[in-house]
Amino acid sequence: MNRRRELRERIARFIDAHGDGSRADPDRDAILEDIAEWQRGSIPAYGRLWNHDTSPGQPPAMPTDVFRFLRVAQHGPEEDLRRFETSGTTSGARGVHAFRDLDLYDRSARAAARLALFPSDERKDLLLLVPPEQTLPNSSLSYMVARFVEWFGADCRWAMAPDALDHRAATDCLRRAEREERPLAILGTSFAFVHLDEAMEGAVQLPPGSFIMQTGGFKGRSREISPTDMVALLGARFGLAPEDIATEYGMTELSSQLYASRWRGYPATLKTPAELWVPPWVRTTIVDPETGRPCPDGTEGILRIDDMANLDSVACIQTSDRAVRVEDRIRLLGRAEGAVPRGCSLAIDQALGGKA
Amino acid sequence: MRTLATAETLQVAIDTARSAARPLQELPTEELLAILTEVLRDLGSRTSPGGMTLRRDLEQTTGLTSAMIEWALETTLAAHSPEALRTLARGFDHPHGGTRRPATLHALVLSANVFTACISPIIWSLLARVPTVAKASSRDDTLPHAFVASIRRHGPHIARALQVATFPGGQGALEDILLSQAEAVSIYGHDHTLRTLSARVPPTATVIAHGQGLGVGLIPAGTLRGPAEAPRLADQIALDVAAYDQRGCLSPHAILVQRGNGLDAEQLAPFVFDALARCAIKLPRGGLPREVAAAQLQWRGVAQARGTLLEGDGFAVSVEAGIPLRLSPGYRNIGLYNLAPGGDELRAHLTPFGTHLKALGVAGDDAVGQSIGDSLPPGLVPRISSLGSMQTPPVHGLVEGRMPWHGLLR
């Protein structure tokens, strides 16, 4: 318990100290190593991975699929404060990420969002195309967005029930922002934006200071739209420049998020995909999927994420997302085919009647 | 790169095939068998011009190593021996009951995961005397074209009855041209392909579906008495796993070891590992596509986290507990599972696969396998075979529960 408390305090101090986005802190790697070492001893499934370690210089990474088959937590279920679940997959089994407390999650999410989305102290009107937390308590995205409402929101409107987009509420909110020239931030999944686009009649000219945060991709469901086409679609519908269309990358198995926005990373343009900013308390590695070893910079591989805020599960996570490093940013290239399809965007599309 | 079909060339192929219906139907069976035997001998020859060209091209298109290509050709063509073809032909000439009329046109939609999979349906089409247009995958159309070329050499008077058109899937206009004129439509491929194409087949045609599938191996209680028998059994399992780099719809993705054997799954795993290592020398694996590598990374990680993983160079064996079975990503990754004796747990594991379970390899004698096959619930019609021969089905057996001429003869 003392070790956990000590690590928790180190992590919290690190996140707070880097709330300005500053990088190049050697403490990051040391903290990650210490977390992994502690988790090795306290999570048997993770300890077993160490016996097969093929990644020299780094602790082994836990594949995201493990969360679908095993409990990945340092504590017992009786201590769960919250359990986030992945969206349903084609195989049916959901991954579960259990939290004993959400302080580090909140600290990380708030610091990153402050840097990447809400750099001003002034609160902003929000339109949420995500089901409210009360209706989807197991969704980490709904939880995160509900915190954004608390931390950054002024006048906020939820326009998404678990099984339907309230496009009238969304349209009313958009028209009001346009009419009153009140900057508006729209946060939602890619599929929700597509459904809103299909439901709306005519375009909206959002005032300066407005932006979109989109998350999730298209996993071969209903419509599949490339990131650059999405920029064009959203820009035309909402009157926004590409730099005002931000991308958020997160997953149930993580506590932290990556962003590409006007303020951090490079948002997608009409020709180029987004390049994600990585918060200072997160380490990313592009690995060769055949060997699990790091790839040279500029080489496509599979994204590994070491997230300091993942104290009570496993900090070192192996995704199935294809990516390439561009200097200190990450460019996502899509999900590796053959990997289990996933994503909150998928669940929302199902709810809205998208095809399986 | 081969020229892709256009609407015009596809219609020409259809018309050409149809025009050869009569010569094909009037050809005496013995002569047809002689032609097929020569074609298969030609393709199986490493020294004939056709055989050499075929092997060179297959190395480019299949992603398999030359050793695996040779094994695949050898075993597939051996299964289509003159005796086997003669037995098959008797069935086609005298199908059960009723009158027979060959379908006027067979549209044969092929997939690319197992390059030899085209041989049997092409032979069935010819034995049924049905003009056929094979839609080959743009990823690999080598063997269908080689077959056609060989028929032109050895049976020019009927060669027009078999045409091959290559175009990528999803070319709706081309697919519609072919489907709308066929009276029998065989579809090999993913379930999505099956659904998409079946929906567009006219009601006057018969769809002969061969959707995606997998195999499972089973070691019934009492068949593996002890370690002395393990290496031979492991070799059989390894061959089934290694064949076609585990990409086929008959490839096993799990081996179930019932309790009541001399070894359990954990004890058998090292033998299977060693056998796969031997296979890797005799029949090396081909390249690993990047997307499969990503899935393999996940699969092996789960195995490490929840069970045992024995990892080799280009292969891996896991031992895990639990239901449901975890399907491997293929490419020589295999999971071993302990199972209670009797049929209940076996059925619980297998039933969810439904018609996707295409092959069940069973250790022990044929009677054991037959008994297990008979105990499976309706709707499960895997091919039952011994371990070691899961990927070399006989040509004259049932095909997914149906006679080979199903849909071709009306």
Reference A131, options A80, A211, A191, A201; nearest CA is: A191
Residue A261 and residue A237 share a domain: yes
A320 contacts in chain B (CB < 8 Å): 294-295, 297-298
B322 contacts in chain A (CB < 8 Å): 69
Least confident segment among A14-28, A114-128, B71-85: A14-28
Residue A139 and residue A215 share a domain: yes
Instruction: Look at residue B304 in the predicted model and tell me its pLDDT.
Output: 93
Kindly state whether residue A92 falls inside one of the protein's structural domains. Answer: no
Instruction: Note which residues in 10-69 of chain B have CB less than 8 A from chain A.
Output: none
Residue A257 and residue A113 share a domain: yes
**Nearest chain A Cα distance for residue B304, angstroms:** 6
**Nearest chain B Cα distance for residue A338, angstroms:** 6
Cis peptide before A44 (omega within 30 of 0): no
Residue A258: which CATH number? 3.40.50
| Portion of chain A with pLDDT greater than 70, in percent | 89
Over the stretch A287-307, which tens digit does the pLDDT of each residue have? 999 888 899 989 999 999 999
Number of domains in chain A: 2
Reference A312, options A72, A37, A20, A56; nearest CA is: A72
Q: Give the structural domain span for A261.
A: 104-278
| Portion of chain B with pLDDT greater than 90, in percent | 76
Task: State the Cα–Cα distance between residues B399 and B210, nearest whole angstrom.
Answer: 9
**Chain A residues in contact with chain B using a Cβ-Cβ cutoff of 8 Å:** 45-46, 48-49, 51-52, 61-66, 69-70, 287-290, 292, 300, 302, 318, 320, 322, 336-340
Kindly state whether residue A256 falls inside one of the protein's structural domains. Answer: yes
Mean pLDDT of chain A: 89
Task: Quickly count: other Cβ atoms within 10 Å of residue A334's Cβ.
Answer: 15
Contact B299 A65 (CB under 8 A): yes
First and final C-alpha spacing in chain A: 45
A300 contacts in chain B (CB < 8 Å): 290
Contact B336, B319 (CB under 8 A): yes
Over the stretch A29-56, which tens digit does the pLDDT of each residue have? 999 999 999 999 999 999 999 877 666 6
Interchain CB contact of B290 with A (< 8 Å): yes
Residue A23 and residue A148 share a domain: no
CA distances from A30 to A26, A329, B224 (A): 7, 21, 51
Instruction: Look at residue A163 in the predicted model and tell me its pLDDT.
Output: 73
A48 contacts in chain B (CB < 8 Å): 304-306
Buried b vs exposed e over A192-205: b needs ≥16 C-beta within 10 Å? bbbbbbeeeeeebe
Residue of A nearest to B327 (CA): A91
Instruction: Look at residue A349 in the predicted model and tell me its pLDDT.
Output: 46
Mean pLDDT of chain B: 92
Over the stretch B248-275, which tens digit does the pLDDT of each residue have? 999 999 999 999 999 999 999 999 999 9
Check whether B220 has a pLDDT greater than 70: yes
Q: Which of A69, A290, A340 sits opposite B306 (nearest CB)?
A: A69
Name A331's Cβ contacts closer than 8 Å, sequence gap at least 6. A273, A274, A275, A276, A323, A324, A325
B304 contacts in chain A (CB < 8 Å): 48-49, 51-52
A61 contacts in chain B (CB < 8 Å): 301
Name B320's Cβ contacts closer than 8 Å, sequence gap at least 6. B303, B306, B307, B308, B326, B335, B336, B337
Task: State the Cα–Cα distance between residues A53 and B303, nearest whole angstrom.
Answer: 13
- Band (pLDDT 50/70/90 cuts) for residue A353 is very low
Check whether A350 has a pLDDT greater than 80: no
Instruction: Look at residue A226 in the predicted model and tell me its pLDDT.
Output: 84
Kindly state whether residue A93 falls inside one of the protein's structural domains. Answer: no
Count Cβ atoms within 10 A of the Cβ of residue B369 and give its class: 0-12 exposed, 13-18 middle, 19 or more buried: buried
Q: What is the mean pLDDT of residues A152-163?
A: 91
Kindly state whether residue A85 falls inside one of the protein's structural domains. Answer: no
| Portion of chain A with pLDDT greater than 90, in percent | 77
Task: State the Cα–Cα distance between residues A217 and A227, nearest whole angstrom.
Answer: 8
Contact B294 A289 (CB under 8 A): yes
Name the domain boundary from A263, A278, A293. Answer: A278
pTM of the model: 0.90
The sheet that has B357-362: what strands, in order across it? B308-311, B316-319, B333-339, B252-258, B214-219, B357-362, B383-386
Residue A296 and residue A150 share a domain: no
- Band (pLDDT 50/70/90 cuts) for residue B183 is very high
| Portion of chain B with pLDDT greater than 70, in percent | 98
Instruction: Look at residue A23 in the predicted model and tell me its pLDDT.
Output: 74
Instruction: Look at residue A338 in the predicted model and tell me its pLDDT.
Output: 55
Q: Which CATH number fits domain B7-210: 3.40.605.10, 3.30.2320.80, 3.30.365.10, 1.10.260.40?
A: 3.40.605.10
Residue A157 and residue A31 share a domain: no
Least confident segment among A41-55, A105-119, A226-240, B59-73: A41-55
Residue of B nearest to A92 (CA): B324
Q: Write the CATH number of the domain with boundaries B214-386.
A: 3.40.309.10
- Band (pLDDT 50/70/90 cuts) for residue A26 is confident
Contact A52 B299 (CB under 8 A): no
Residue A178 and residue A232 share a domain: yes
Kindly state whether residue A289 falls inside one of the protein's structural domains. Answer: yes
Task: State the Cα–Cα distance between residues B24 and B13, nearest whole angstrom.
Answer: 16
Task: State the Cα–Cα distance between residues A194 and B53, nearest whole angstrom.
Answer: 50
Residue with tokens 């393709």: B43
Residue A146 and residue A117 share a domain: yes
Contact A316, A59 (CB under 8 A): yes
| C-alpha A229: how far from chain center | 21
Residue A247 and residue A197 share a domain: yes
Q: Which of B291, B301, B329 sits opposite A49 (nearest CB)?
A: B301
Residue A120 and residue A72 share a domain: no
Over the stretch B387-400, which tens digit does the pLDDT of each residue have? 999 998 887 778 88
Domain ranges within chain B, ordered by starting residue: 7-210, 214-386
Over the stretch A53-94, which tens digit does the pLDDT of each residue have? 666 688 999 999 999 999 999 999 999 999 999 976 555 578
Tokens of B371: 């008994």
Residue A267 and residue A295 share a domain: no
Tokens of A343: 């994503």
Residue A139 and residue A69 share a domain: no
